[in-house]
Amino acid sequence: MHGAVLQKPEVLSQGTLKDGSAVFTVCQLDGSWVDVLYDHYLKVRTDLPAKDKMCLRERNRASFEDHFKKGGIVVGAFVEDRMVAQAALFEPVGDVVPQCYPSVLKGSDLNSYAFFQTTMIDQEYRGQGIVQAMLQARLAFAFEHKREHAIAQVDIRNVASLKVLVAEGFSAFSMDPHPNGDSYIIALHKDVRSGRLARGFNRKIKPKPEIERYGQDASDAGMLQKRFNEGYRGVALTPSGRLVFSAKPRPFRY
């Protein structure tokens, strides 16, 4: 039993699961939901297969409280009044910056940015359209708050999240070593100034041999870093999870 009185969440959108079995609701949650969010995080982390668990950063309850204290928001997805997914969004204000952000942005004015954190979702609801709906809700929130850039950071091993992001028009532009030293974090960008928040042109990538050949295997960190340094963008993922780069350099103006 949690001590805090849960505030009624603001409904952002609704949708139907892809299998048609139920309706889900995407809501904005406030700080009164910290205990529920932390319990859900623990459940998701416990249920994850070992190969996926390493992609989800370890957190404690205080980190959830700190997120709200610094002005962050959390979006939750509910099926029949049960929370089945959560995802955070942080919009820097003044000198308050996110705990983690791409190293290439250090020294930049982050007040025009919105930082998207990885969605945590119950295993049985993956692939049902909830993650996409939560991402679109956060993009709309960032646009309404006049943010110019959406930035997401994903463990390079988290192919599922990378696929969702590039399908929504995000493109990879930089890479940093994982804090644990055992992997890399890919940073992705989407311009939200135009308000065109629908899915990007690269929603579906056909498994053609030439695309597979020119896709860059995520395990080759050196080549990925070289491409990013040259200004190329990772604009799609092949079915096997290889990152496909833009044909020409598309440098991100920080």
* Spacing of C-alpha 247 from chain mean position: 25
pLDDT at 165: 92
Q: What is the C-alpha to C-alpha distance for residues 35 and 94, in angstroms, rounded to an integer?
A: 28
Neighbours of 248 (CB within 10 A): 8
Reply yes or no on whether the pLDDT at 32 is more than 70.
yes
pLDDT at 116: 95
Pairing state of beta strands 73-79 and 243-245? unpaired
Place of tokens 């950063």: 57
pTM over 0.75: yes
pLDDT at 66: 93
Q: What is the C-alpha to C-alpha distance for residues 203 and 107, in angstroms, rounded to an integer?
A: 33
The average pLDDT across 137-141 equals 94
Q: How confident is the model at residue 30 (pLDDT cuts 50, 70, 90)?
A: very high
Strand boundaries in the chain, DSSP class E:
10-16, 23-29, 73-79, 82-90, 113-116, 120-121, 149-155, 171-177, 184-191, 234-237, 243-245
Total H helices, total E strands in the chain: 7, 11
pLDDT at 5: 80
The average pLDDT across 216-231 equals 79
Report all structural domains of the chain as residue ranges with CATH numbers, in order of start. Answer: 10-199 (3.40.630.30)
Place of tokens 């532009």: 173
Q: What is the C-alpha to C-alpha distance for residues 169 and 167, in angstroms, rounded to an integer?
A: 6
pLDDT at 56: 67
Neighbours of 62 (CB within 10 A): 11
pLDDT averaged over the chain? 84
pLDDT at 207: 40
